[in-house]
Amino acid sequence: MGRKSSCCGATALEVTLAILFIAMTIVCATLIALMVTRTTHTDPEPTAPPPSPPPQNTPYLIGVGRADCTGPAADIPLMGYANTQQKAAGIHTRLYSRAFIIDDGTRRVVFVTADVGMISQRLRLEVLQALQEKYGDQYRQDNVVLSGTHTHCGPGGYFQYTLFMISSSGYIKASVQPLVNGIVKSIDRAHQNMRPGRIYRNRGELDHSSINRSPHSYMNNPEDERLRYKDNTDKQVLVLKFTDLDGDGIGMLSWFAVHAVSMNYTNRLVSSDNMGYASYLLEQDKNPGELPGQVRAFTCTCMSNTTCDEQTVSSACLCQTKMCAAFGPGDDMFESTRIIGQNIYMKAKELYATAVEEVTGSVQSAHQWVNMTDVSVPINSSHTVSTCKPALGHSFAAGTTDGGGDLNFTQGAVEGDPFWDGIAGALLGRPSNETKECHRPKPILFNTGEMNTPVPWHPQIVDVQILTVGSVAVVAVPGEMT
């Protein structure tokens, strides 16, 4: 669900989401309990005639649509590795936006996944404005979720905060327009082909296609928590299968937690990476030899396979951070993209073919703005703490196991480096005591939360959303889950 824009204060957000999630679970559990109770009450008497076939659930109205959103494939900086040298110079795969509209007869939700690094606030506002002009209040802030597959090889230049503008060389209209048009067009197509249909859910596990990007950090989780899981990564593939009333497939939505970084930071071809390739394979499979009327989409969240030695004591590479690039399992990045994409495709296809658990129930959506600099988080029965302004720390500069930073920073650092702090401070200003105290013990390198020239560097207010379709809940948050 890679809506990604802020790096800090995730704890508070996670707590908020956890609460939302628990609330949703309770609602779902209650609904299931109600349904079970009702079924029990209407059980036929022993003397009654044999039960007729189970009543059909009310169908949804479902629309699916896909549109190209590739944009210019030359000279635009690619978004993801924050590498200004990485400018587009050709196309590896085209980029698509895929839209799903689900309507229960009363309410409607739209879920869009686009082959981009992330959705920015700016991009979202432009898409919502275009939708408002076409559809009035039908598609709104609260019922439209936009997400990115998090490819690191899509165009940049669609951001409004300085931090993200630096690596993508400002705001690039030539890059934004095709993205907005592609996303809106995918929604138009889904809107035009809405028809009665059903949704089925299935899930399974996919091995050998992801690895923890920071195993050392993972080990800092409490043991009793780690014991609840058999792996240090989430290997679940979740599939939603959409059919018409004849049972013919019209689309699929699938989630698998892998970081779309099979293509590495040396790549200069626009690419939808492993996730986009998996979608492409399924679409080709279902629409042989033609442009898809049928839509497959994959949305992703977090991890990737890295070839760093899991035995190293720190997830920061010991000798040279650059040795920690994510690559594998292929001989080169094209081969790796193909293998990981193929694995996801095969698993999703299998789950799609065997999905029988029908999703039923009403459609709901909610949206909220959150001032991330001021969220209260109860940490125990007597203490409540508050989040504060964002900042980038020394550990940020260290990068992760699947992509180290350029300089000699290490993960988990709790002491600043006077040399770098001095340079950053002289150039960008030192953090206030309040912000320093709030981030302690993590030392601040870039005081982005207090920098406002020429425009604010880091968002303070972000939006969060939840969509529910029966017992399926999709939580949309602007962050990179890991």
Ligand X SMILES: *[C@@H]1O[C@H](CO)[C@@H](O)[C@H](O)[C@H]1NC(C)=O
Known binding residues for Zn(2+): 150, 259, 480
Q: Which is nearer to ligand X, 15 or 31 (CB)?
A: 15
Which parts of 227-315 fold into alpha helices (H)?
A: 273-286
Q: Is 65 helix (H, G, I), strand (E, B) or coil?
A: strand
Shortest distance, position 71 Cβ to ligand X, whole Å: 23
Q: Tell whether residue 343 is a contact of ligand X (CB under 6 A).
A: no
Shortest distance, position 372 Cβ to ligand X, whole Å: 8
Q: Tell whether residue 328 is a contact of ligand X (CB under 6 A).
A: yes
Q: Tell whether residue 327 is a contact of ligand X (CB under 6 A).
A: yes
User: Which one of 97-105, 217-225, 323-331, 414-422 is the stretch in contact with ligand X (CB under 6 A)?
Assistant: 323-331
Contacts (Cβ under 8 Å, ≥6 apart) of 49: none
Strand intervals (E) in 387-437: 392-393, 399-400, 403-404
Which is nearest to 98 in space by CA: 325, 241, 297? 297
Cα gap 204→351, rounded to integer Å? 7
Side chain identity, residue 438:
C
Q: Tell whether residue 365 is a contact of ligand X (CB under 6 A).
A: no
Decide: 447 and 391 in contact? Cβ < 8 Å: yes
Residue selected from 211, 257, 348, 476 as contacting ligand X according to rule CB under 6 A: 211
Residue selected from 14, 374, 417, 421 as contacting ligand X according to rule CB under 6 A: 374
Which parts of 119-259 fold into alpha helices (H)?
A: 121-135, 162-167, 173-192, 215-218, 223-226
Shortest distance, position 328 Cβ to ligand X, whole Å: 2
Residue selected from 5, 243, 264, 468 as contacting ligand X according to rule CB under 6 A: 264
Shortest distance, position 168 Cβ to ligand X, whole Å: 21
Cα gap 445→451, rounded to integer Å? 13
Kindly determine how many residues on this chain lie close enough to bind ligand X according to the rule CB under 6 A.
24
Q: Tell whether residue 325 is a contact of ligand X (CB under 6 A).
A: yes
Nearest-CB residue to ligand X? 328
Shortest distance, position 364 Cβ to ligand X, whole Å: 27
User: Which one of 74-82, 352-360, 373-381, 414-422 is the stretch in contact with ligand X (CB under 6 A)?
Assistant: 373-381
User: Which one of 41-49, 68-76, 214-222, 371-379 is the stretch in contact with ligand X (CB under 6 A)?
Assistant: 371-379
Q: Tell whether residue 305 is a contact of ligand X (CB under 6 A).
A: yes
Which is nearest to 97 in space by CA: 194, 197, 189, 172? 189
Cα gap 209→275, rounded to integer Å? 12
Q: CA-based Rg of the chain, rounded to a whole angstrom?
A: 23
Residue list, annotated binding site? 150, 259, 480
Which is nearest to 365 in space by CA: 226, 467, 446? 467
Q: Tell whether residue 461 is a contact of ligand X (CB under 6 A).
A: yes
Burial of 431 (0-12, 13-18, 19+ CB in 10 A): buried
Q: Tell whether residue 455 is a contact of ligand X (CB under 6 A).
A: no
Q: Tell whether residue 332 is a contact of ligand X (CB under 6 A).
A: yes
Binding site for ligand X (CB under 6 A): 208, 211, 264, 266, 305, 307, 325, 327-329, 332-333, 371, 373-374, 379-383, 408, 433, 460-461
